[in-house]
Every structure is written in C-alpha cells, then in structure tokens.
Structure 1
Amino acid sequence: MTKKKPKPFPKPPDAVEIASLTPEGRGLAQVDGKSVFLHGALPGERVRFRYTRLRKDRAEGTVEEVLRAAPERVPTPCPHADICGGCSLQHLDPAAQIRWKQEMLERVLAETGQVRPERRLPPLIAAPWGYRRKARLGVRYVAKKGRTLVGFRERGTSYIADLRRCDILHPTVGERIEAIAKLLDGLSIRQRIPQIEMAMGEGPCVLVLRVLEPPSARDVARLTDFGETCGLHFYVQAGGAETIRPLLGQGVDLYYDLPGADVRLYFQPTDFTQVNPGLNRMMVEQALVLLAPRSDERILDLFCGLGNFTLPIARRAAEVLGVEGDPGLVARARTNAEHNGITNARFVAADLYARSDPQPWASQRFHKALLDPPRSGALQVLELLPAIGVGRILYVSCYPATLARDADRLVNGLGYRLRAVGMLDMFPHTAHLEAMAVFERG
C-alpha cells in the first residue's frame, strides 16, 4: 500500500497586513477569514509569506519578504535565527521586546484574571547575550551531512538546527558549538548520544552527555583532553538523574553567588536553577525589597527549590520555612543553609499539589509567603495562605496564564489586593515571559 502524498499548500496571497503579535511572538494576519500566524512578522508590517501548516480554522507560516517594515524591526545578529527554535524575537528591537512583554502581562491579567495592578514595577533587564548557563541541546549524527549536529531544535520540527555558534548561551559553550559537534563526531558512540545538558554557575561549566551506551576508553580520553583545553567538564548519564557521573578527574562543584545576600548556593548539574544568573540576582534583590521581611517575622517559601529565595530571606527574617516537592532539592537546600551558616531556615519535602492530609507545617502561622511555582501555578495552595495568617504574598511566575488564574482567586476570591506587578526578562529574544507580583490582604 503506497503512502498518500500530503496535499500541497495553496498559493498564499501576494501580501498581507500584520495586525498584532501573538503571545508566542508571531505576527497575526487574516486570509479569507482565517487567522494566519507568521514567524518573523511584526505588527504594522506588510509581508509576503509561505505556509508551513494548514488547519481548518487557522494556518501557520513564515515570512519570505518584508515589503513594509515596522520601525521596531532590527537586523538579526544570529545567522541561524530563521530556523533555530531557541529564539523567536531577534528581529524585534530589545526595548520593544520589553514593552511588548509588559503589555502582554497586563493584558493576560486583565482578560484572564479580571485583575489590574495598583502599580507597575519597572522591568528587570540583564545582559541580552551570552546569558544562558543552563540549557538542553539536541545531538544527532546526520548521515546525509556526514557529521554530527549539536543545537536547539529547528522551529516547528524535531530536527536539530545546524548551528555553528549560539550567542544566547554563555560563550564557554556558545562559541564552541561547532567544535563540540566535531568532538562528538569523532567518538565511537556518536550515534548513541541524543542530548547534552549544559550546567554552569560562577565557575566551571559541566556538559552532561546522555549516552545510550558507555563511551570507550578512547572516547573518554578525547573528551577529557578537549575539556582540559577548553575549560569544560564532561559527565555521562546512562539513565535517570541518579545515573549522572563525571568522567575520571572531571568532577567539580557547581555553585552560584547572591552577593547582595551574602549567599552561595551549590547545585547538581540537572537541578533546577535559573538559566540567567544576572537576572536571578536582580530578581532576588527585588524580592527582598517587595517582601520586606523583618527580624520578628516568620516567612513561608513554597516551591523553594534549593533555597534561592529562602536563604536570602533568612538573613533578614526571624525564621523561614521552605517547602519543596523534590527531596533531592530539599537535601541540597539544607546543605546550602549549613554552608552559609544560616540556622533560622528549615526545609521540608511535601507534594504541594497533593490533596492529602495537611502537613504539620500547614497549621502553623506565618506573616508572609513567597510562591515560586512551575508553569502549572500554585492554585492548590492558595486557600491555605489566609488561613495561616499570611498578609503579604510575593508570587514569582514563569507562566502568565497561571499567574492570571491564581491572581483571580487571590483577589476576587480570597480578598487580597494586587498591589504591584512587573515583568522579568529572564529569556531575552524569546516570547517567554516571567513576572513578579505582590498581593496584600485588606
């Protein structure tokens, strides 16, 4: 039985007008009453495009030619910007990216959450290039090209983008993408390495190779020699996170500093840490200002991770309790407290999404709370906060839709006010939007 060929895409119109920018950073146009989402288009532009996907009610495409450019359009410095899925907004002026993200945040809060902040916080902005110190890169040996590719996925496909360098990664890795690909290409297991995970703090950089079979002695020697020359440390991962091991002599301590709080945090290569350390330092400092912990207050830190906010808060509060669902992160948080000589921070492991019997900590009293949930938000713990006396909540969000949903519950259901909200530019040149919001009772 022969496989049916897919239908060819229809011929697009000669040109379309771009009405707005979608939350994913694509230009929105209308063609015969159907919404068309175009990568590389900006509001106010007139463009020619080609289709990349068709559905009954919508279509997707990419810009082929800009006939009338928006004033905010800038040249893309990266030669891979048109194909790589790592960035989506390099063609938009950085200042305009910030304005758009602020407007998007307030629109989502108003439309989805039915809330408006009493004031807007200034956006937090750090270096726009070389900022990523955590990343997962795909690896694939491509027989047709006769070599191994290392990089992010191509936009909208499962293929690895053919990168020579990456300017959003820290230069230790970003400037060596091609060299790393050539290194892997010379290994006996080059077709058995699907992924590299980059992890870097203030000092050394670790590259964790996900391996489907062990490297040979010659492979290990090649990796070690390359690492010593370039300042990289190679680990291998044969299964789950518990199988990660450094190659002989390659093990290092990973850590990052929060100078404003006199805190150093140690972490493992696959632990969750913020990808942008410069922005993270600014975020922690702003959190301390907005939460304003006092020496007579007990603070609750939910989804605390390895203590990124907990330990700086402990420097100023009477006591802080950090709650986290990952027992490994809880263990690291306790160790970090010991390393920093902090004795007024406690950590417990608990599933904050479980609807089971309440934990002992959930019946204690706290003056303030910090929430730093994953994309799924914090809806399951919101009802607890007024019951245990929390008067002020600082909510750090990595996904505006769940922030808006939770803000709706806090303001319109539990009697808090949305005192302030601000955008955090954790991922420049992407549509990813993070935020910080302050809620108060009464």
Structure 2
Amino acid sequence: MSQFNKPSKGSRKSGRFKSPTLKRKTSANEQVANLRFSNKNKIQDTSADKKQLEVLIDSLDWMGQGVARTTPVHFVEGALPGELCHIAITQAKKNVISGKAISIAQPSDCRVEPFCPVFNQCGGCQLQHIEQSAALSQRDDALRTMLEHQLGMEKSVWQRPLEGDKPAYRRKARLAIDARREGDVKLGFRAQSSNDIVDVESCPVLVTELSKLIAPLRELVSSCESSMHIGHISLLAGDNVSQVTIKHTKALSPELYSALVLFGEKHSVNIALENKKGRFNLIHLVAPLVINSYDGYTLSPAPNDFVQVNEQVNNKMIEQALAWLDPQPQERIADWFSGLGNFTLSLAKRGAIVQAVEGVAEMVQRAQENAHKQGVDSVQWRHLDLSNKADVESALGHGFDKVLLDPSREGALTVCQALGNAKPKSIVYVSCNPSTFARDAAVLIQGGYQMKKAGAVEMFPFTHHMEMMALFTR
C-alpha cells in the first residue's frame, strides 16, 4: 500500500520478522522467576547473550507490536498480549527497547497459524499470526488511547473502524525479480528486513485475478535470457481488465517482447513496458483500464499512478468523508492531495465548487481529462506543492468553506499551519500515518479547531499500517 505508490505519498510497506517458536506453557511462579523484576520494575537480563532477554507482553500498539510496559518500555515484533517471550533486541535507547520474539512460553489465545506458507520469510505481511478481529480491535484501542493521551481527545469522538473483506483484498502489487542466475529465476516479494527475494507461486492477499498471474509470469521470464534486464513487474486489477507492467533497465530481446505479447493474448491482460526513463509503451491492449470509484464514477490510472489498493475500504472511506464533510451546493471546498480525484468527483456531484490540488503534474492532467469525460466540469484542477508555504497561501487565496486533506505519510504540516488563519468551517483529514496526523492535529487544535469525530481505517489488513480519518470543526 513493494506495491505501487502514489508519487506524492511515501512507501506504505515495511519489513517483518519470523514467526516465533512456541514453547510449553509455564506457571505463574515460573514466569516471575524468569522475568526477575527488580524493585524498580526494570527487566533483568536472564540470558548469557546480552542482546536477548525475556519479557511479559501487556498489550499491542497500533502497529501490532507487542508492548511490555516496563522501564524501559519494550516493543516486540511477533508478540501478543499475555505472552511471555524470549526476545532478541534489535535497538536499545534510553527509554525504549525494540526487539523481536524468538520463542514464546505461553501463547495467547489470539495466536493463529498464518494462512500464507511463506509468511515466515516474505516481507509483505506482518500480522498473520493474530486472529484478525482481535488484531483490529486491539490496534483500534491502541490508536484511540494514543490520541487521547497526545491530543486530549474525548472518548466519545472515536468511531467504529472501517474494514472490508479479507484476505484477498489487494488490487495492486509489485513483484521483485532476480534473474541473474540462468535456470534459477526468482519472482515474488522482498524478504523481511532484507533485499533477498522470496519466490512465490501465488499470493493470498492479492485479488484472484492478480494472484493467478504470478506462476505463468515466472515461467515466462525464466525462459528468456534478457529477463536479467527486468527491474520489477507491477500488477494492477482494474474493473474491466488487469494490467502487467514490466520495468526494464535495458532493451528486452525480440524473443521476450514477443513472449510478453503472447502472454497478454493468452491471459487477456494489458501489457506495458516502462523504460529506465519512466516512459511507457503499451504493447498489448485488451481495453483501457478503468477502476470503479464512488457514485458510479471511474478513474483511469496510468501504471504508476496511485490508487487505493483496497476497493471495499476505499468506498467506505469516501462515504464516511462525504457524510462528515456534508458538502452543500455552492460551498467552496478544497480537496488537497487529490490524486486522480478519488474524493473530488463525488464532492462535485453534490454541487460544491471544488478546488483539487495535487503535487504530480501528470496526475492533475489525467484527473482533469477523466473528469471531463464523465461530465464533471466544475472542478478547478491545480498542480501545486502543498509542502511549500507560498503555494499553500496561493491555493487559499479564494477562501474555502470546507477542506478535505489526504496527504502522504509525511503529513500536511504546512497546510495545517495555514488553515488556522484561513478558518474554514470544517476539515476532514484522511491520514496514512497516525504519528504525523497527531502532530498536524495538534496544530489544528491550537489554531482553534476541535476534533469532533475520528476513527481507524483498515486499508491494509495483516500489515503494520493503519490509516485513520478525523473531522475538525471550529
């Protein structure tokens, strides 16, 4: 949510750890003996290896890491509440120690067997070891608690999380390839905390039409020597056709070129080539790819354009944003970090006068053309850098009644600082990084806004990532 990324958004993927080995359950007395707490509640090292120790996990944080609320606090990958874990320390600071679970003496009732056979190696998912309703519930509680602590948020503000069907939810992915050794081509995903490639036959979190392309793609690239010039292979499932994009660093051989065309014909998918300068060549076209959006609108992304990977959750997110912002005819609404118009078209349909601002010029042009094709001509499309104070002030020049923000992981600090002076009536902030959201929300609150509603958005199940949405009013 690595996968395709919106050019103006940072990567939404992170590495992960191996599933810990489970040990027998221990008694309460054994747990106390093993932990050896001092009178200051500090963890005592019980092993010969000074980089390993045992901790008892109290809760999950919003990223799904186990938390031992000792002094210092321990954040443990692969650990669940109530588990006594033998951990390897990966980073130690004065007040925080990070580590990963090596073995577990007393497994949680929420621990489950991962459904993916390469979960222990692949870096794509991090949270298949916990029952999914428990994962969402506990992470949702952790996120709410963090915002209550950092922002003074009232409990009544927090709404039910948005979620969709699982596990096969991803309609976009990037396959890594290693074709340096003839006869030993690997096609799959980066390993956890490594550049190694985990070879896969399929992927259970991808939608079926993408997952079933992986094995025949490997067979294809394994048969051609010039596959060593492929950097990666991107997959995108539209609502009318799927697309395979081959990123190559040198010209592909006529043999591989022809094989890709035949692949497109056999599997009824579009095939595009992307050279090292980022230019695309569509070599097999079934149909121009479209993605259904909300209110019956469609988006027409280029291969590297950002689209939300989880269709169900995206539709729920748009619906909630519209309900919270409550756009009215002739209201001036700023839709900033607008991308291809994921929210824009529905805002305009309700009669609002919308200014859509995006930082990638090509996406602005495609969004405008796509809107015109669907009869939406009331949007002012602008290409501006919303991290630049002068550009933000320029965009605010006309004044707005309401604002919708959907920034990258870096957040929207410059925008939030300016909105305190501009004083729109309400702001809906969609965030893919709760940490930068908390920073920006503090600026809005200091500028005279109150957080009226907020809630989690589970756009990327089985991963550390958690999105959220909030409504601010003056």
| TM-score over 0.5 (shorter chain) | yes
Contact 1:101 1:423 in 2 (8 A): no
Distance between the aligned counterparts of 2:230 and 2:350, measured in 1?
46
Aligned to 1:296: 330
Aligned to 1:92: 130
Distance between the aligned counterparts of 1:132 and 1:122, measured in 2?
22
2:436 to 388, 391, 402: 402
- 5 Å-filtered alignment, 1:348-367, equals 348-356=382-390, 360-367=394-401
Q: Deviations over 1:275-318 (max 9, x none)?
A: 11121111111111111111131111111111110110101033
1:336 to 363, 370, 378: 370
Structure 1 counterpart of 2:188, which letter? G
Q: Deviations over 1:163-198 (max 9, x none)?
A: 222111122222332332222111222222121122
Distance between the aligned counterparts of 2:54 and 2:394, measured in 1?
63
User: For residues 404 and 358 of structure 1, do their structure 2 counterparts lie closer, same or farther at Cα, with a shift above 3 Å needed?
Assistant: closer
User: For residues 356 and 101 of structure 1, do their structure 2 counterparts lie closer, same or farther at Cα, with a shift above 3 Å needed?
Assistant: same
Query: Secondary structure at 2:225's aligned position in 1?
Result: coil
1:421 to 449, 454, 466: 454
Aligned to 2:211: 174
Distance between the aligned counterparts of 1:161 and 1:395, measured in 2?
37
- 5 Å-filtered alignment, 1:218-367, equals 218-241=255-278, 243-247=279-283, 249-250=284-285, 252-259=287-294, 261-356=295-390, 360-367=394-401
**Do structure 1's residue 77 and structure 2's residue 112 form an aligned pair?**
no
User: For residues 407 and 52 of structure 1, do their structure 2 counterparts lie closer, same or farther at Cα, with a shift above 3 Å needed?
Assistant: closer
User: For residues 384 and 35 of structure 1, do their structure 2 counterparts lie closer, same or farther at Cα, with a shift above 3 Å needed?
Assistant: closer
Give the percent of matched residue pairs that are identical in Structure 1 and Structure 2: 32
- 5 Å-filtered alignment, 1:358-377, equals 360-377=394-411
**Greater alpha carbon shift after TM alignment, 88-97 vs 176-185:** 176-185
**Greater alpha carbon shift after TM alignment, 82-91 vs 317-326:** 317-326
1:132 to 154, 162, 170: 170
Contact 1:142 1:149 in 2 (8 A): no
Distance between the aligned counterparts of 1:357 and 1:45, measured in 2?
51
Structure 2 counterpart of 1:290, which letter? W
Query: Secondary structure at 1:383's aligned position in 2?
Result: helix
Distance between the aligned counterparts of 1:239 and 1:432, measured in 2?
30
Distance between the aligned counterparts of 1:375 and 1:421, measured in 2?
18
**Greater alpha carbon shift after TM alignment, 38-47 vs 53-62:** 53-62
Aligned to 1:157: 194
Structure 1 counterpart of 2:131, which letter? D
2:140 to 99, 102, 106: 102
- 5 Å-filtered alignment, 1:105-120, equals 105-116=143-154, 118-120=156-158
Contact 1:41 1:63 in 2 (8 A): no
User: For residues 117 and 416 of structure 1, do their structure 2 counterparts lie closer, same or farther at Cα, with a shift above 3 Å needed?
Assistant: farther
Structure 1 counterpart of 2:460, which letter? F
Q: Deviations over 1:30-54 (max 9, x none)?
A: 99x77665432211113455x4846
Query: Secondary structure at 1:189's aligned position in 2?
Result: helix
**Do structure 1's residue 20 and structure 2's residue 72 form an aligned pair?**
no
Contact 2:384 2:391 in 1 (8 A): no
**Greater alpha carbon shift after TM alignment, 107-116 vs 375-384:** 107-116
Structure 2 counterpart of 1:218, which letter? E
Query: Secondary structure at 2:194's aligned position in 1?
Result: coil
**Greater alpha carbon shift after TM alignment, 208-217 vs 305-314:** 208-217
User: For residues 15 and 365 of structure 1, do their structure 2 counterparts lie closer, same or farther at Cα, with a shift above 3 Å needed?
Assistant: closer
Contact 1:121 1:422 in 2 (8 A): yes
**Greater alpha carbon shift after TM alignment, 202-211 vs 227-236:** 227-236
Query: Secondary structure at 1:60's aligned position in 2?
Result: strand
* Offset at residue 105 of structure 1 (A): 2.0
User: For residues 83 and 23 of structure 1, do their structure 2 counterparts lie closer, same or farther at Cα, with a shift above 3 Å needed?
Assistant: farther
User: For residues 83 and 34 of structure 1, do their structure 2 counterparts lie closer, same or farther at Cα, with a shift above 3 Å needed?
Assistant: farther
* Offset at residue 121 of structure 1 (A): 1.7
Query: Secondary structure at 1:155's aligned position in 2?
Result: coil
User: For residues 357 and 232 of structure 1, do their structure 2 counterparts lie closer, same or farther at Cα, with a shift above 3 Å needed?
Assistant: closer
Aligned to 2:23: none
Query: Secondary structure at 1:152's aligned position in 2?
Result: strand
Contact 1:419 1:438 in 2 (8 A): yes
Distance between the aligned counterparts of 1:13 and 1:334, measured in 2?
56
Query: Secondary structure at 1:226's aligned position in 2?
Result: helix
Query: Secondary structure at 2:235's aligned position in 1?
Result: strand
- Structure 2 unaligned spans of 5+: 1-47
Distance between the aligned counterparts of 2:184 and 2:67, measured in 1?
38
User: For residues 52 and 147 of structure 1, do their structure 2 counterparts lie closer, same or farther at Cα, with a shift above 3 Å needed?
Assistant: farther
Contact 1:113 1:405 in 2 (8 A): no
1:217 to 251, 254, 257: 254
Aligned residues, how many? 425
Structure 2 counterpart of 1:60, which letter? G
Query: Secondary structure at 2:143's aligned position in 1?
Result: helix
Aligned to 2:34: none
**Do structure 1's residue 204 and structure 2's residue 241 form an aligned pair?**
yes
- Structure 1 unaligned spans of 5+: 1-8
Structure 2 counterpart of 1:213, which letter? K
Q: Deviations over 1:81-129 (max 9, x none)?
A: 1111110111111111211231232233234444446422221111112
Distance between the aligned counterparts of 1:80 and 1:166, measured in 2?
9
Query: Secondary structure at 2:135's aligned position in 1?
Result: helix
Contact 2:58 2:66 in 1 (8 A): yes
User: For residues 39 and 346 of structure 1, do their structure 2 counterparts lie closer, same or farther at Cα, with a shift above 3 Å needed?
Assistant: same
Contact 2:292 2:298 in 1 (8 A): yes
Distance between the aligned counterparts of 2:69 and 2:63, measured in 1?
17
User: For residues 287 and 358 of structure 1, do their structure 2 counterparts lie closer, same or farther at Cα, with a shift above 3 Å needed?
Assistant: closer
Query: Secondary structure at 1:370's aligned position in 2?
Result: strand
User: For residues 24 and 286 of structure 1, do their structure 2 counterparts lie closer, same or farther at Cα, with a shift above 3 Å needed?
Assistant: closer
